[in-house]
Amino acid sequence: MFYSIPLLVRAIRLWWRELLFLLVLNVLWLIAQLTLVLGPPMTVSLYVVARKVMQGELVDFRDITGALRQHLAAAWAWGALQVIVYGVLGFNLFFYASAHGQLVLILRYAWTLLLLAWFTLNLYYWPLYLAQEDRRMTTTLSNAGKMILLNPRFTLVYSLLALFLIAVSIFSGFLLGAVMMAWLALWGNLVVADRLAARRPKSETQEGRPR
């Protein structure tokens, strides 16, 4: 249940190995979020670099530009979906914040749970996208949903710890600009690799990939 914590510790160790490069990349990621258009491509680029770090490969800025070219369309499609889902659910919570009644209360709980579910799906999204052969958005979202259903307690701890890290990063400011997204990307890749290995039949080779 708490196995996601050692994976976070391992992610931090990997981050330390590529400290300077990942510090710069995290700052670039944060700046990209301010432009909106560059935000999603930089997010997937960071996950690509994190996956290479996890696999023990050398990384440099060519990995970023290569990821931007290769995954640009997929990143923008994912980003547009984030705007729609978070926009609709956030608007509903804000618009009905002062409303009263049992039905409104039930809807608030439902919208909040949907927000948390969507947040959790996205923790798995890019690591799964990079690990699988079929990289369609529908396939990746479906696999993320399966990951949640197959690992409910693990996912609960993972998502709550990720929310805590994000909250601390936002309120501290420093973690947000320096390490947060790099840690999440490394951690997410490690989590998905671990969960896939746990579900993989023993007879299957390590090169087996999800479809």
Q: What is the pLDDT along the chain (211 residues), one digit of tens a residue?
A: 567 889 999 999 999 999 999 999 999 999 999 988 999 999 999 999 999 999 999 999 999 999 999 999 999 999 999 999 999 988 888 877 777 778 877 888 888 999 999 999 999 999 999 999 999 999 999 999 999 999 999 999 999 999 999 999 989 888 888 899 999 999 999 999 999 998 776 545 444 455 5
Q: pLDDT tens digit string along 52-65? A: 999 999 999 999 99
Burial of 95 (0-12, 13-18, 19+ CB in 10 A): exposed
Distance in angstroms (rounded) separating the CA atoms of residues 193 and 106: 37
> How many CB atoms within 10 Å of residue 97?
9
